[in-house]
Amino acid sequence: MNHLKDDTSTRSRYLDWRFWLRQSLSYSLITAASAGTVLFVSGRMAPNATSLSFGSNDDLVYEQVQFSGEAAGPPANAVEDSSYSVAQATGTERLVSGANFIAEAVDRTGPAVVRINSARTVVSRRPGVFNDPFFREFFGDMGIPDQPSQRVENGTGSGFILDANGTIVTNAHVVEGADEVSVTFKDGRELRGEVIGEDPLTDVAVIKVDASELPTVTIGNSDALRPGEWAIAIGNPLGLDNTVTAGIVSATGRTSAQIRVPDKRVDFIQTDAAINPGNSGGPLLNERGEVIGVNTAIIGGGAQGLGFAIPINRAQEIASELIATGKVDHAYLGIQMQTLTPALKERINTDPRANLSLEAESGVVILGITRDSPALRAGLQLGDVIVSMDGRSVTEASEVQQIVADTAVGDAIAIALDRGGQTVEVSVSPGAFPTQTSRR
């Protein structure tokens, strides 16, 4: 009898384990840091396990359970408790439990995402060759108009409502040169938009519409982003309004040079959420539906899954200045520069046209100086190698750009240069970048 009882108990445990395993697999078991660690959505603990509660949602307690010794079975009464499931993180937990966090995020933010239509007049002038007397003698006018011709170009982008009184954030390139701007809301309304200001260096613009009690977005914190987090894009790509795509944050802190827009003064969020023409200016969201970025750029050449967004913390700073003054003053020196590498040094030193001799092994070499610029007035020269700024060693061109960007217009920067092997110290006061655009 005892032997039979032991067999029955063993078989019962075996069946319970099989049921628990099927239950777990049906909810797509996701392992965590190690093979012996899983995240349970349950108030119970596995036998021989230790538990650390790390959060809660909808009255469920999420516990990280580390099995000790031999593999442990399911928590007590797991077979009877159909709510027992396995998950990885907040967003995934809701997917596992049947709720779609992407749809929830879109429901919260979608009404505050708008389509922006812009129209600009483009003047086409007759090429100079047609004015050549020789050409006109042999070919006549050939129907070529004497007066410049005009045409209207239409563009479409996206944006999102920052406040209930009609302040909208988008990209500067969406409204660049626009004579007319209109804003179409998700409910079908269309209102005339006024461009308050544009900042080409960060590609941020602010539009105002005459309305009130509009739906608004919730702003997140882009400084806290980590690669691997969920990313959701909403916009109007290729004329397809209210399109939603999802992926992850692929990287943060991508420099403008890395994404092939060296004229911009901003670091970017990289995402594999699909971004296409027309998405520009729309929001990039986290799993809670908070705006973490402004979708801006893609890399061409057949690349896929390479989209970029302006971090919302930076975009909000720029938007605040545009709302207050209609423009943003960016400090600049007026130089063209490149990180000095052994290959670049050799190329410059062996090029007779350069007429330069570089001795420094590292730093940032000046390859061009703008006329009437702060750099020229301070005495910087072609071939100078920047080795430090305000006592900080400099080895990358992006470091120079960041130091200048962090300096107020008019404040002096102490720069140490290597000039043909000699150390030269100068003081440069950055000026305001000369191409700011204000519509006021």
pLDDT digits (tens, 9 = 90+) for 49-94: 333 333 333 333 333 333 334 444 444 444 444 433 333 445 555 5
Q: Which helix (H) or strand (E) holds 266?
A: none
Q: Which CATH class is domain 331-437?
A: mainly beta
Pairing, β 190-199 against β 204-209: antiparallel
Name the residues annotated as catalytic. 173, 203, 280
Helix (H, G, I), strand (E, B) or coil at 138: helix
- The third-level CATH classification (topology) of the domain covering 111-209 is Thrombin, subunit H (2.40.10)
> What pLDDT digit, counting tens, does each position of 375-416 carry?
999 999 999 999 999 999 999 998 998 899 899 999 999 999
Q: Which ranges in the chain are annotated with CATH 2.30.42.10?
A: 331-437
pLDDT at position 36 over 60: no
Sequence length of the chain is: 440
Q: Which pLDDT band holds residue 430 (cuts at 50, 70, 90)?
A: very high
- Topology of domain 218-325, per CATH? Thrombin, subunit H (2.40.10)
Confidence of residue 25 (pLDDT cuts 50, 70, 90): very low
Lowest mean pLDDT among 85-94, 214-223, 269-278, 296-305: 85-94
pLDDT at 334 over 60: yes
Three-state SS across 164-215?
CCCEEEECHHHHCCCCEEEEECCCCCEEEEEEEEEECCCCEEEEEECCCCCC
DSSP 14-61: HHHHHHHHHHHHHT---B-SSTTEEEEESS---TTEEEEEEEEETTEE
Q: Which of 8-22, 110-124, 132-146, 277-291 has the highest mean pLDDT?
A: 277-291
Residues of the chain within CATH 2.40.10.10 domain(s) are 111-209, 218-325
